[in-house]
Amino acid sequence: MSANGASTGYGTVTKVLHWTMAAAMGIQFVLGYSIDRFDDLLEWAADLFFGGEDEWWIVPHAVLGTVILVLACVRVWWRRVGGLPDWAPGLSAAERRVATAVERTLYVLMFAIPLTGLALLFGTDSEWDVGPYEWPAPLPIVDDDVGLVVHLTTHIVFLLALVAHVGLVLKHQLLDRDRLLNRML
């Protein structure tokens, strides 16, 4: 048995970190992909919170990205301190290899997505209208189109890894009926 919890499931801290990260990433994707669409979808919110300036949404998006980055650091630290439970008995050797590869990919992307987003904000030649201010990136090293492509590429890889992660869990939950999901609930 590990410090993380029983050998058959994940401990409470791991579960809280997992689901908090899942919620934060979900909110972040909705917020990020809505920034350019606030004119149509959430103009009322931009009016209410940011005086009608749509690009103000970049501020909470960047703040949440920073929170996700800190949360990723906490997750890696807790993983080292708390350890992992034993493998679920229903996982085949091939599924264990897939789960390991997918998990490592997701961990890397928990850092890569916010870091590329912050690089887009601070290190490209873009300028943002934030209320009455114009925010020029302090270190305009890279073209903003290149920065955006890199940032969006991390999203695509993340979503593919997430599909694999959820797909494996659903396979075991719905087809194999071995209640794999219960280990994280």
- Residue 155 falls within a domain, yes or no? yes
Identify the CATH number of the domain in which residue 76 sits. Answer: 1.20.950
- Residue 140 falls within a domain, yes or no? yes
- Residue 160 falls within a domain, yes or no? yes
- Residue 53 falls within a domain, yes or no? yes
The band of 11, judged by pLDDT with boundaries at 50, 70 and 90, is: very high
56 vs 100, which has greater pLDDT? 100
- The model's pLDDT over 87-106, given as tens digits with 9 standing for 90+, comes to 888 899 999 999 999 999 99
Long-range (24+ apart) CB contacts under 8 A made by 131-134 are 131/50, 131/51, 131/53, 131/56
**Cβ neighbours of 54 (radius 10 Å):** 19
123 φ/ψ angles, rounded to the nearest 5 degrees: -125, 15
d(CA 82, CA 36): 41
- The model's pLDDT over 135-180, given as tens digits with 9 standing for 90+, comes to 777 888 888 888 889 999 999 999 999 999 999 999 988 988 888 8
Radius of gyration of the chain (CA): 19
Q: What distance lies between CA 64 and its chain's CA centroid?
A: 10
- The model's pLDDT over 26-52, given as tens digits with 9 standing for 90+, comes to 999 988 887 766 555 566 666 666 665
Count structural domains, the chain.
1
pTM: 0.82
- Residue 75 falls within a domain, yes or no? yes
- Residue 7 falls within a domain, yes or no? no
**Cβ neighbours of 51 (radius 10 Å):** 10
The band of 3, judged by pLDDT with boundaries at 50, 70 and 90, is: very low
d(CA 101, CA 109): 12
- Residue 6 falls within a domain, yes or no? no
- Residue 5 falls within a domain, yes or no? no
Supply the range of the domain harboring residue 27: 12-184
